[in-house]
Chains A and B, each alone.
Chain A
């Protein structure tokens, strides 16, 4: 598979949707909706097919970035067009191409207005998302990171629900406010590497935005400066995750977005934030990330997110809003895992990023399906659907169980590993987080009960058709992935192990010898408590 290294495979995967979007804009007339749909699906499918070889060609034993492409872009600033991936980016890119295809395919009947623009935006969004995961240059990363907001803004604003305008601008403003602070952090880092700024003496190196180079440089910064920059980046990422208390844009954006928009938001866009933490915050500012106070704040926010998110989820009346709030809780888990700063925590966090994409993305799809039939998302409007839509009930059950972390399904593996990591650090972290799992079971089972069990009380539900083949085809891949990760997560752990080790080493955690982990392979590496518990709450 070494041939792949001679092809700019990452650029190809990234720009296929962009090219497809341009073809749609210029060559396909907007009246031919059938052709538009077919073409958009074809483009997304090609992108998926082209991205799949990455999985096999990727060398799991190597450290560092693979499939690297590098070209000079703005030499005056030291900016390069620099792509490359490690295991963490790899799984996220594959998730993006899978979800991208599903998002296009699930919109056939849901979107009836301005279809051409819709599919063009979906494809553009996909290019920007994949590009974000591929970047090895901080400047380029920022460009992709920002421009991604634009198509999402329009997806929510044009094809969204009642309060779409409010939700769209809120989404845009929140994320932009965070990322401009990150921009300052990037500039500061750049000057620390070159000529210095604000009284900090620069290192006098050649100007660069290379993530690898800057990571090495930043790790040697004085702790005080690291903490400043950590928080500059923190705002960019925490808003995107979203961590409590920056989460308020999320229920609005999720609820108002069209189904495909919600799916992409949940599955991919939220992961940008957690990806930022593992790719930048931890390795670049290790002293800040290990600082007891910083860890205390991060973990406290994560746990508040888990518990508060779950409690708010319990009382939601709108299905979509309910699932949106559950994301706050789930992403809290991811953050907890990452800031456990040990192998189990980080690996679990990364895996849970994927899991959340699968199960929550799937749940949004399911809500979208009944919404298309009934045009309401209120839980009280439903009841007894199990009899009328047995297939639908089955898919819903599997994905809900995966979301709540039932063994044999993907969520369990992720949550278990995260809890293990948290437990190794501090019993109480794991204790509070585990209560979130209990609450999660409560809101999901209760939701399921209210929608599916009992008699059909609302006559409007009496004649609902069950899933069509197309709808099943959008759900099936997610269910298969959920089962696969639940039963045999080793392949994914293998891919993310090396980069996770590097991150954990950077923040001073201990890494077990690879064989020990690989032999167990079950994805539940029984790590001994690798460090004494950190006094996290001073």
Chain B
């Protein structure tokens, strides 16, 4: 393979390059800036992300950007741009939601922000990855940074436990993924996704490739927390600092969906019937287990962890329906909706954690309606959206996913999915009931400006996509992968 290094290639990667530099700057500054002035770091981080967005816009208007770059390792198509935008959004929200939380914790904040940015770099590369090895390296960059983030509150046993579990299981799953990649590479002898597809189109179905695909699928299912690779999720979500949990529930998942979609859509469409069956079973198991287990939780973070497992199950319906024209579109709209609603819900948990690290049970929401009515109403919007009640973003997203399942011929799965979303209402509304019906602390509750901003952004996103989905649908339609 001949590597053609054109300058223009690097221009297309300018957001990633800038964010890397930004992470390094943050790391350097963390030495100089003391604990007291950390708000400045948070501000700086948001600024850096803002500049990265500007670079992204600059990239978006470049002509000819959709061609593979750097010897086919990356590609900056609309699909990648959408995911990059979504990833940067979740990064910015995370930094804003973290500011006060990290500031009041006895751990230095500079490293925290730089780690977040490095995770972001990994995710941005994932969104563009067009070659198995590039995807793997990007994934590991993201994963390694996030293991550290999970254990960032190193004095807290739960946080350490979360990091260790995440690391061990994550490393194992990376191994599985890598093994799968090597098998496929062994069979095909090429790394690029389009080349793989070309090769596979000309060959018979072989056990080697099938095993490779299955292992790749398993490794990716781990990242999106689908059953049976979900066991790490509740513990990691519970133990990690809540802003990190909020971030894990959206950012890395979104990025994992990007590579899952790209690999299976671009490289393995030929074997759709084979892996489709596995995905259908996994999706069914994920929806059932996620929703049923969430019913039993009293810790909000665990409940939302299981809810995000269940959501992974819904999104897999879109993976199933790739070939129908609805599936990928549905995944994009759902992930957009999911980012707003899930991050919003977690932000409310952060808002309530005034008692410090420990308090995060459903009963913390008791009487929120009296303590802060707008917060309670906004949380209700997020819960309704998560449960898929119109007119919220979650409904539009689910509508597309259910449609994709029905269209792909999985009527039983669609029925299961709608029944399970009715079940999900039960646990979401335990929070709603606590907020509006139960008596809680009498004190009023006020959030910081940063938190309020995050909540407002998420609420507006959730409602606007729900009420006026048309512009979003149109834009996202241009972002699906071409044939």
Contacts and interface: CB of A to CB of B under 8 A. Distances in A.
A187 B406 contact: yes
Contacts of A142: 390
Among B380, B384, B419, B429, chain A packs the most CB atoms within 10 A around the CB of: B429
B407 A191 contact: yes
Interface stretch (B2-10, B71-79, B469-477): B469-477
A76 B426 contact: no
B414 interface: yes
B418 A184 contact: yes
Given A172-B425, A188-B406, A181 B415 contact: yes
B385 to A, nearest CB: 12
Nearest to A177: B422
A164 B433 CA distance: 11
B242 interface: no
Contacts of B419: 177, 180-181
A199 B433 CA distance: 43
A169 B429 contact: yes
B429 A197 contact: no
Given A143-B395, A172-B429, 12 more contacts: A76-B469, A77-B473, A158-B437, A165-B437, A180-B388, A180-B418, A180-B419, A184-B402, A184-B406, A187-B414, A191-B407, A197-B409
B406 A147 contact: no
B479 to A, nearest CB: 13
A81 to B, nearest CB: 11
Contacts of A172: 425, 429
A36 B369 CA distance: 19
A77 B407 CA distance: 14
Interface in A123-166: 142-143, 146-147, 149-150, 153-154, 157-158, 164-165
A438 to B, nearest CB: 39
B389 A157 contact: no
A318 B406 CA distance: 46
A73 interface: yes
B470 A74 contact: yes
Interface of A: 73-77, 117, 142-143, 146-147, 149-150, 153-154, 157-158, 164-165, 168-169, 172-173, 176-177, 180-181, 183-184, 187-188, 191, 195, 197-199
A143 B425 contact: no
Nearest to A169: B429
A27 B391 CA distance: 25
Contacts of A173: 422, 425-426
B425 A176 contact: yes
B402 A147 contact: no
Interface string B373-409: 0000000100010001111000100010011001101
A157 B437 CA distance: 7
Q: What is the interface of chain A mostly: helix, strand, loop, or mixed?
A: helix
Contacts of A191: 403, 406-407
B391 A184 contact: no
A120 B324 CA distance: 43
B470 A75 contact: yes
Contacts of A199: 409
Nearest to A183: B418
Given A169-B429, A180-B419, A187-B403, A76 B437 contact: no
Closest 4 interchain pairs by CB?
Answer: A180-B418, A143-B390, A76-B473, A177-B422
A24 to B, nearest CB: 13
B411 interface: yes
Interface in B451-483: 469-470, 473-474, 477
B391 A143 contact: yes
Contacts of A143: 390-391, 395
Contact of A150 (B389, B395, B406): B389
B232 interface: no
B108 to A, nearest CB: 43
Contacts of B469: 74, 76
Contacts of B395: 143, 146
A117 B411 CA distance: 41
B418 A197 contact: no
B271 interface: no
Nearest to B380: A150
Contacts of A176: 389, 422, 425
B421 interface: yes
B371 to A, nearest CB: 13
A32 B418 CA distance: 43
Contacts, number: 84
B185 interface: no
Interface residues of B, number: 33
Given A184-B402, A188-B406, A164 B422 contact: no
Contacts of B388: 180
A150 B433 CA distance: 12
A197 B437 contact: no
B433 A169 contact: yes
Contacts of B473: 74, 76-77
Contacts of A74: 469-470, 473
Contacts of A73: 470
B436 interface: yes
28 contacts: A73-B470, A76-B470, A76-B474, A76-B477, A143-B391, A143-B395, A146-B390, A147-B390, A147-B391, A150-B380, A150-B384, A153-B432, A165-B433, A172-B425, A173-B426, A176-B389, A176-B425, A177-B419, A180-B388, A180-B418, A181-B415, A181-B418, A183-B402, A184-B402, A184-B418, A187-B402, A188-B406, A199-B409
Contacts of A187: 399, 402-403, 406, 414
Contacts of A147: 389-391
A139 B446 CA distance: 38
A74 to B, nearest CB: 5
A110 to B, nearest CB: 18
B449 to A, nearest CB: 21
B248 to A, nearest CB: 29
Contact of B426 (A149, A169, A183, A195): A169
A226 B415 CA distance: 17
A364 to B, nearest CB: 22
Contacts of B390: 142-143, 146-147
B436 A154 contact: yes
Nearest to B374: A25
Contacts of A76: 469-470, 473-474, 477
B321 to A, nearest CB: 11
A169 B369 CA distance: 18
A187 B407 CA distance: 9
Nearest to B384: A150
A177 B473 CA distance: 27
A188 B418 CA distance: 14
A172 B473 CA distance: 30
A146 B421 CA distance: 13
Contacts of A188: 406
Nearest to A154: B436
B407 A197 contact: yes
B433 A184 contact: no
A150 B407 CA distance: 30
B406 A198 contact: yes
Nearest to B400: A77
B421 A180 contact: yes
B294 to A, nearest CB: 15
B436 A158 contact: yes
Contact of B406 (A157, A165, A181, A197): A197
Among A75, A149, A164, A183, chain B packs the most CB atoms within 10 A around the CB of: A183
Contact of A157 (B399, B402, B415, B436): B436
A183 B402 CA distance: 9
Contacts of B406: 184, 187-188, 191, 197-198
A489 to B, nearest CB: 37
